[in-house]
Chain A
């Protein structure tokens, strides 16, 4: 029985679940390091998921669609940044505002511009290419995990490494972390905390855009109303569990994804569907309890 759950399929499913979460969790970690309690990522991810499908279909080009998605998501992230930094709004409340705005605008555009309330999909949506790495194709277990994984999954690993090098191994990362840990001390050595907060939000916007793209263009090619369903919050929890530490964020995100994909496979057993749907949220809550971090006080 156990082997019917724990097999290569499970790990392949885990990778599919993890990819969008990973991007967004990295974005959350970067802003967390800059001292921003950024729950707006839920809304940024939703906007990006919507734009990715719609724009790449409209322009018949995956590349243009993705670039425009990244651009617009970054602009929204910067608007959020302007409101919390320049206008000194509350991080959490303004974040909720962005999330509500995202829910409203995507649903509005679905109905009034695309004339398909509830969701959008089109047979002409360009597909993200599936990549098979020749080096792994002869290794039995790994090849069956990686079979059918697309380019977004692979790029998420590269980006995780890049983000790690940036945050933990570069002088820019040091400035970023100084901004979050002690803005006054950062100012005295000539670092502008405001500038680094904006930079962190730009990076977060890019990463949330990639997360949204991975969500709506990864294994499926459609957008449904409210499709993020708390994934932004879950990624935020993963990042704050790891206190913004990048390797820890990656590990925790994959653990979350493992539990989520486990929960999908429990469908065959006599467990009510609603409990199965609850599992990602329960796992996140459990992680919060275990970490017991005073992240906001």
Chain B
């Protein structure tokens, strides 16, 4: 067989060190224009979702302006509204941060919901049964740690399947969510169910977490605990991780191009396991802040889709920790505003789920700008 001239061309020697340095500079350069564009794109996604939502409201004969005003007032109109918004945002900051960690390394881990439940159970059990041994300043961190570890342990299953058996993590984590939630409920029903006051067996329901393990309230009336502050600290920590730490750099490199990272010396298998387990652990931590926070126990079905909301807020925040926090607060506003909108103008709060779905639908649309002819160049092809 004849060799074509093209294939006989020698591979050009690449100075890999120089390439790595260039990549690091590319990732870490301050890029105001890029950040502004990202912000605009998220805002465009929100705008599109709100406009389509308004159209749907018109279709069923509701007044969209009235509905949105009620939504906004319910979200940010008063101190109680803001407190409720922050309360709803708190768990979503954690699941959002979990998504940031997994997605930035290029793994589409969607198992936040399952880990959230495991973490909530882990935190609750430590909070209930370790009571006589620890004072509060140790009991709270230990319960949070329990949630963190149990959530991570559950994420170990898809992580190992992904890293060692090449099982695609998207569908496996979706399945493990169903399995995990059923398993946690089963465990609670069988071993930890609170049966003292003859409470109905409709829901899994543990004993109350002891006072020494309860997270302090910022506002007890609105259920706002210091978990929102923990979420902020976590976000700031990850700002540091991605700006300064070696692991953060390696994670970004893996997400940018897996082969490139591999040639650059990153252990991809280890990175896959670590990023997914860490994502699960952060979700678990979020679950624990709920069970030892405002709920004070593990309650079956406590999460109203906090896991997938994490995906929405992380992508609206463009996978940046601080952006994710702001997006989570926006999301918290949508949810708590939706509840008061339902009361005030009789529009079901499911409108909020519709808006969230629409945001998710278009938030990654990289050609949105060229389509909208906003003048800016679209993001380069990956």
Contacts and interface: CB of A to CB of B under 8 A. Distances in A.
A99 B172 CA distance: 17
A38 to B, nearest CB: 11
Contacts of A37: 170
Contact of A112 (B189, B258, B347): B347
A236 B175 CA distance: 11
Given A237-B171, A285-B175, A292-B167, A108 B360 contact: no
A278 B56 CA distance: 36
Contacts of A100: 305, 308, 312, 353, 356-357, 360
B135 interface: no
B185 interface: yes
A86 interface: yes
A55 interface: no
Contacts of B299: none
Nearest to A37: B170
Q: How large is the interface on A (under 10, 10 to 19, 20 to 34, 35 or more residues)?
A: 35 or more
Given A87-B367, A111-B348, A282-B179, A294 B166 contact: yes
Given A100-B357, A295-B168, A89 B362 contact: yes
A92 interface: yes
B361 interface: yes
B179 A281 contact: yes
Contact of B186 (A83, A92, A93, A274): A274
Given A92-B170, A285-B172, A289-B161, A98 B60 contact: no
Contacts of A278: 178-179, 182-183
A237 B168 CA distance: 10
Contact of A275 (B60, B186, B353): B186
Contact of A233 (B171, B186, B346, B364): B171
A108 B362 contact: no
A101 B354 contact: yes
A288 B348 contact: no
Contacts of B60: 109, 112-113
Nearest to A39: B170
Q: Which of A98, A101, A240, A294 has the most CB of B within 10 A?
A: A101
A277 B174 CA distance: 15
Given A100-B357, A101-B354, A285-B175, A93 B185 contact: no
A289 B182 CA distance: 21
Q: Which of B305, B364, B367 has the most CB of A within 10 A?
A: B364
B359 A97 contact: yes
B171 A274 contact: no
A284 B171 contact: yes
Contacts of A147: none
Contacts of B56: 105
A97 B367 CA distance: 17
A272 B186 contact: yes
Given A233-B171, A289-B165, A296-B170, A99 B176 contact: no
A93 B110 CA distance: 10
B360 A97 contact: yes
B356 A104 contact: yes
Interface in A263-291: 272, 274-275, 277-278, 281-282, 284-285, 288-289
B338 to A, nearest CB: 10
A105 B318 CA distance: 26
B167 A88 contact: no
Q: Which of A94, A117, A285 has the most CB of B within 10 A?
A: A285
Contact of A104 (B167, B171, B175, B354): B354
Given A96-B360, A274-B186, A105 B172 contact: no
A103 interface: yes
Contacts of B245: none
Contacts, number: 157
A230 interface: yes
A90 B350 CA distance: 24
B361 A98 contact: yes
Contacts of B354: 101, 104-105, 108
Contacts of A195: none
Q: Which of B110, B175, B368 has the most CB of A within 10 A?
A: B175
Contacts of B171: 39, 233, 236-237, 240, 284, 288
A293 interface: yes
Q: Which of A88, A97, A236 has the most CB of B within 10 A?
A: A97
B100 interface: no
Interface in B355-379: 355-368, 371
B89 interface: no
Contacts of A107: 348, 350, 353
Nearest to B348: A111
A46 to B, nearest CB: 11
B366 A93 contact: no
A102 interface: yes
A288 B175 contact: yes
Given A83-B362, A97-B359, A272-B190, A289 B179 contact: no
A206 to B, nearest CB: 21
Interface string B172-203: 10111011001101100110000000000000
Contacts of A292: 165-167
A205 to B, nearest CB: 16
Contacts of B363: 89, 93, 97
A111 B354 CA distance: 14
B108 interface: yes
Interface string B252-264: 0000001000000
A253 B363 CA distance: 33
Nearest to B158: A285
A161 to B, nearest CB: 27
A165 B10 CA distance: 46
| CB-CB nearest 6 A-B residue pairs | A104-B353, A101-B357, A97-B361, A97-B360, A100-B357, A87-B365
7 contacts: A87-B367, A89-B362, A94-B361, A98-B357, A109-B60, A111-B348, A112-B60
Given A87-B371, A101-B358, 11 more contacts: A83-B365, A87-B368, A89-B366, A94-B365, A96-B308, A100-B353, A100-B356, A104-B353, A107-B348, A108-B350, A108-B354
